[in-house]
Amino acid sequence: MKKLSHYDSGGQPRMVDVGAKPETRRTARAHAFVRIAPAVLRKLPSNPKGNPLEIARIAGIAAAKRTSELIPLCHPLMISHAEVEVTLEAKGVRIVASASTTGPTGVEMEALTAASVAALTVYDMTKALDKSIAIQDLYLLEKTGGKSGDFRRKVAARRKGGI
């Protein structure tokens, strides 16, 4: 059975030493969905705070770059690329975030953080209209590189207009 790498032999949390690991190209993509009522979705273009989708995209990119400041045992990484796609759908907003680097550890947490913060930003930009907005389905879609190899989530076909 594999053991969790963020604990020492005494069971105390620790930052993993990645100093001896080879630098390889690593990528990750993550997903989140913000379920929003149709009446609120129709009001997005006239939001007085600005375009919520564009602001969420920029917030997600900024968050990817600051992941190690938010998640205590994450390593600070030199991210070579971060991107956040924010798509309006019939039942809400779909977010797909990606991050890449060449380094000794992966960028899964950077992609997940980007998707999370982008989703939180959509909520922040629309909460005045509806407090029942739900952030859901935050997960890793795929990652490449590193000792553990590639991973691709098997995602069931989405229903039209939502998840």
Q: What's the CATH code of the domain at 44?
A: 3.30.70.640
Handedness of CA 19, 75, 27, 108 (dihedral sign): positive
Q: Determine the pLDDT at residue 18.
A: 78
Q: Determine the pLDDT at residue 139.
A: 97
- Residue 107 located in a structural domain: yes
- Residue 161 located in a structural domain: no
Q: Determine the pLDDT at residue 6.
A: 65
What is the number of structural domains in the chain? 1
Q: Determine the pLDDT at residue 145.
A: 92
| Contact call for residues 135 and 145 (beta carbons, < 8 A) | no
Q: Determine the pLDDT at residue 69.
A: 96
Amino acid identity, position 60: G
Q: Determine the pLDDT at residue 12.
A: 73
Question: Alpha-carbon distance 51 to 95, whole Å?
Answer: 15
The one catalytic residue among 124, 130, 137, 150: 124
pLDDT in 10s for each residue of the chain, 163 residues = 566 566 677 777 777 767 778 889 999 999 999 999 999 999 887 877 788 999 999 999 999 999 999 998 899 999 999 999 999 999 999 999 999 999 988 899 999 999 999 999 999 999 999 999 999 999 999 999 988 889 999 976 554 444 4
- Residue 57 located in a structural domain: yes
Which residues face 134 on adjacent strands?
A: 35
Whole-Å CA distances, 156 to 98, 116, 151: 20, 21, 16
- Residue 104 located in a structural domain: yes
Q: State yes or no: is 8 an active-site residue.
A: no
- Residue 6 located in a structural domain: no
Question: Alpha-carbon distance 47 to 115, whole Å?
Answer: 21
Question: Alpha-carbon distance 163 to 157, whole Å?
Answer: 9
- Residue 14 located in a structural domain: no
Q: Determine the pLDDT at residue 58.
A: 98
- Residue 15 located in a structural domain: no
> Using H for helix, E for strand and C for coil, what is the string for 32-84?
EEEECCHHHHHHHHHCCCCCHHHHHHHHHHHHHHCHHHHCCCCCCCCCCEEEE
- Residue 154 located in a structural domain: no
Which residues face 98 on adjacent strands?
A: 29, 83
Q: Determine the pLDDT at residue 149.
A: 87
Q: Determine the pLDDT at residue 22.
A: 81
Q: Determine the pLDDT at residue 46.
A: 82
Residues spanned by the domain of 40: 34-145
